[in-house]
Structure 1
Amino acid sequence: MSEKTTTENIPYFAAPTEENWSFQTGPLQFMRAAHKRHGGVCRISFSDREFVLLTGTEANEFVWSSSDLWCYRDSRGAFLSELGEPHVTSSDGEKHRAKRKLINKSFSVSSNIRYLPKIASIVRDHLKAAAEAGEKVALRQWLPRVITRFNLETVSQAAVSDEEFEILVRWQLHFISGVALSPQKQEAHYSLPSYLEDKKAAFDIMGRIVDERLADDNPPDDNFQQVIEAREKAGTPGTRDDLVNELYYILVAGIQNTTHFTITMLREIYSPAGWLDWLREELEDWDGYDAMAVAGMERLKAFTFEIQRNRPQVLTLPLLPNRDFEFGGYTIPEGTLCVYCPPFMHFDEQYFENPDVFDPKRFMDGAKFSPKHNGFFGGGAHVCVGRNVTLLQGPLMVALILKSFDLQDVPPSDTFLIEQSGGEAQTPCEVRIVPRATEPASV
């Protein structure tokens, strides 16, 4: 941190709010109260540490346009410690831009929409198997396994044993659940012998897949192969570790994001508000098998937009500046722990009427998010590379469930402690999957 500059002149917002919300129990309500009182900059405390909180449209515009200001390796150390030097994200400046050029095509709509019929078939099989078993499933663990299974048969085609499959999923779930923990808890989380064993095995499995792919004279035309060919075209073939990391992106990175997105949709659909019947009306004429038809479902599309707006799963992201910077009339020193809220403007009345009300109909008749006011996937250089994948896979899985199955005992939607992608505040979301009285005929 700069020797001359401190954060002492930045106002401090203490918890809880007048409504008794803290940053932990009601993060969105807490941040809105802080913004109302202090504007887009204030200090807050969370998990025994102090942060500078940045909120509002101006904060997003500033963060999204200043990727070289932030030091990823210190602000999100779990990714570096667990995934190694080849891993980069949107705060890694030039390294991120170079990596993005290599993997962008594999996350494009065209590269992923071609697999929707196969994905739909695999999802249907898993739904039928769960219904036939007659036992409750924990969606928080079940969905990542379904997603990983269809990833292994589509975007990163590779043969793995059942044991190897379980290791890959188990390791990724354990890894991501520790990302949002404090450094002290994180160290303990990643030091468990069972985790270390799974981590080594998972990298051995991905390494073997890379070796087999490089030795294959007739490789499949999947998304992983697109990355390999992009490297060859760029004249940067990369090391084995580079390719393992890129396989990780395609195979298991993001399975929790799609899981959380899908669960959030389902919990709202099965809420007392009655969106289940509204959405099923649109599904009446769908045969349940034409996966491409899902893209034309206006109600489902509007519902997906409103989930992004009113039920964002990631409320905050950590930042660590590598130099002093000016924002909101304050000088914030190098090395200051910062946190910002990408979807903050989703709840701003100047952009959305009655922002606290969940109403998908606001996005009917062609209404869309302005990219400037949609922080669900970030923006600028910080937009999530997996955005297209989640928006293709999540609604498809929801449509398949609503068409042919019912979910029983769905936990109610939590409008205060919004589901986040890491940490300990998640419900397992145990449900029973049962067939609907009438199912579409196979075509």
Structure 2
Amino acid sequence: MDDVTIRDRIPPLTSIPLPRAVDRRWLTKRWPVREFATPPAGSGLKPVLGDAGAPLLGHTLDSMRFGVDFALHRYETYGPVSWLGIFGRRFVMLAGPEATQVALANKDKAFSQEAWRFFLDRFFYRGLMLLDFDEHHLHRRIMQVAFTRDRLTGYARQFAPVLREGVARWPEQPRLYWALKQLTLDVATRVFMAMPGDAGTARINRAFVDSVRAPTSLVRLPVPGGRWAAGLAGRRVLERYFTESLPAKRAADGDDLFSVLCRATGEDGERFSDADVVNHMIFLMMAAHDTSTITATAVAYHLAKHPQWQERAREESLALGDELPDLAALDRLETLDLVIKESLRLTAPVPSLPRMAVKDVDVLGHYVPAGTLVTISPNTNHYSPGHWTDPRAFDPERFAEGRREDKSHRYAWMPFGGGVHKCIGLHFGLFEVKALLHEMLRAYRWSVPAGYRLRWDYVSLPVPVDGLPVSLTRSR
């Protein structure tokens, strides 16, 4: 599938250039400050302060355009607990490790995944991340058998040749994000579903892309030609494919994720229903390829900007020899470990984690009433000067033993979320990204023009506005 097939044909919102002065005025525009809700008399709690932003749209466009800078500006203006208007609703924003811990540790079960359902339910209905409390615990326990070390070893045997073959076919000057996205889609369809690379795969890939782009549509109606309508159509394609394929998967003894989920059994004999398997596969396919694409893109960009780190990582990859790497070999790529962690810090693949308060709750002395939509900002934590040295600098050594700045707070570094909903596939994703970069390092050297700076589009998950153009040369 070529770039045009994968990409949205509508230019991303943030690709529209604005003069720097206009950018700054847009970001720092002052709106009337108001209380979110009046605290109960005698509670001693403070009201949450914030602003609604522009009429109707609120801060939707600001957050999409400015991403990290928007999150940091809100934190600097209002502190760790504030509110804003976005997507036609009012959200309380929790920023910084301490506020994050209240929501993600969730000791008194005051926060649910209901807010995720506001964004994703039409497209990723009853995916693992959308479930709550006892039901989530049960489904996660059953699913865990699909992500053991033994299972990961088997998945690595499957994705290693896919990655090597895919990287070898790249042109000399690719838009790297789209090349990486194609590869991670290939891994997701072949390793998770055992699908061959044919026209049917292209149709499934397109359905996934449409479903992922739809949840942050400004027009949340099935207008023909719009992203919301495309996402609904994509969901129907995916449901039909998994439902029709499921009987054969249940009957076979395959080692792809789809087959494993069909056979997965909990400690007390619990198993997924057919509907559970379909819903979980659609969600896991989305989670498996999008976050890996973003992470690999960020790593490749920083290695292009910092060739000394690229050479250091390449030396370790070449030392592994020409065999396809297994998990033990990938574990030895220590430089890539550092670079991947730093890239995840600088660009969180999921820049917002929504929740809903299901009862009145005290967040750092602020009153958040039941029914409040909440959003957690990993970007703010990742750039906190109280937890990171020179947080805007690319410095992988901050993760090396002896420094370990990520240990400054449990939620200072949280690219995979936290608490009971921490990403179940994080180890799969890290091994996949490391294997992908390993193949790139063996095959190529790559660079970007002097002065080039990657700009991310935050319309949904982060996407490079220009697709990240790079120049590739064969390394040997």
Say if 1:214 and 1:141 are closer, same or farther in 2 by CA, change over 3 A: same
Say if 1:97 and 1:263 are closer, same or farther in 2 by CA, change over 3 A: same
Alignment of 1:77 with 2:127, yes or no, is: no
Q: Which residue of 2 aligns with 1:148?
A: 185
Say if 1:437 and 1:43 are closer, same or farther in 2 by CA, change over 3 A: closer
Aligned-partner residue type, residue 240 of structure 2: D
Say if 1:412 and 1:279 are closer, same or farther in 2 by CA, change over 3 A: farther
CA offsets per residue over residues 261-300 of structure 1, 9 Å max, x none? 1011111111256432332233342324341323212211
Comparing 300-309 and 29-38, the one that deviates more = 29-38
Cα deviation for residue 389 of structure 1 reads: 1.4
Q: Which residue of 1 aligns with 2:316?
A: 282
Indicate if the aligned counterparts of 1:90 and 1:382 stay in contact, CA closer than 8 A.
Answer: no
1:7-406 → structure 2 map (5 Å cutoff): 9-12=47-50, 23-47=63-87, 49-66=89-106, 68-84=109-125, 86-89=126-129, 92-131=132-171, 137-157=174-194, 159=195, 162-182=198-218, 184-185=219-220, 187-188=222-223, 189=226, 191-192=228-229, 195-216=231-252, 219-231=253-265, 234-271=268-305, 274-292=308-326, 293-365=329-401, 368=404, 369-370=406-407, 371-406=410-445
Aligned-partner residue type, residue 388 of structure 1: H
Cα deviation for residue 160 of structure 1 reads: 5.0
Cα deviation for residue 101 of structure 1 reads: 0.8
Aligned-partner residue type, residue 127 of structure 1: V
Distance across 2 between alignment mates of 1:223 and 1:423 = 24
Q: Give secondary structure in 1 for the equivalent of 2:254.
A: coil
Q: Give secondary structure in 1 for the equivalent of 2:92.
A: strand
Indicate if the aligned counterparts of 1:306 and 1:359 stay in contact, CA closer than 8 A.
Answer: yes
Q: Which residue of 2 aligns with 1:441?
A: none
Structure 2 residue runs without a partner (length 5+): 1-35, 55-60
Say if 1:25 and 1:3 are closer, same or farther in 2 by CA, change over 3 A: closer
Say if 1:37 and 1:434 are closer, same or farther in 2 by CA, change over 3 A: closer
Indicate if the aligned counterparts of 1:155 and 1:222 stay in contact, CA closer than 8 A.
Answer: yes
Indicate if the aligned counterparts of 1:266 and 1:398 stay in contact, CA closer than 8 A.
Answer: yes
Comparing 305-314 and 282-291, the one that deviates more = 282-291
Distance across 2 between alignment mates of 1:179 and 1:191 = 7
Q: Percent identity?
A: 17
CA offsets per residue over residues 42-69 of structure 1, 9 Å max, x none? 2233455432221121212111122843
Cα deviation for residue 187 of structure 1 reads: 4.8
Indicate if the aligned counterparts of 2:353 and 2:417 stay in contact, CA closer than 8 A.
Answer: no
TM-score by length of 1: 0.82
Indicate if the aligned counterparts of 1:106 and 1:224 stay in contact, CA closer than 8 A.
Answer: no
Indicate if the aligned counterparts of 2:83 and 2:93 stay in contact, CA closer than 8 A.
Answer: yes
Q: Give secondary structure in 1 for the equivalent of 2:264.
A: helix
Distance across 1 between alignment mates of 2:221 and 2:152 = 34
Matched residue count: 422
Indicate if the aligned counterparts of 2:351 and 2:379 stay in contact, CA closer than 8 A.
Answer: yes
Distance across 2 between alignment mates of 1:425 and 1:288 = 32
Distance across 1 between alignment mates of 2:385 and 2:414 = 16
Say if 1:153 and 1:234 are closer, same or farther in 2 by CA, change over 3 A: farther
Say if 1:342 and 1:74 are closer, same or farther in 2 by CA, change over 3 A: closer
Distance across 2 between alignment mates of 1:326 and 1:160 = 52
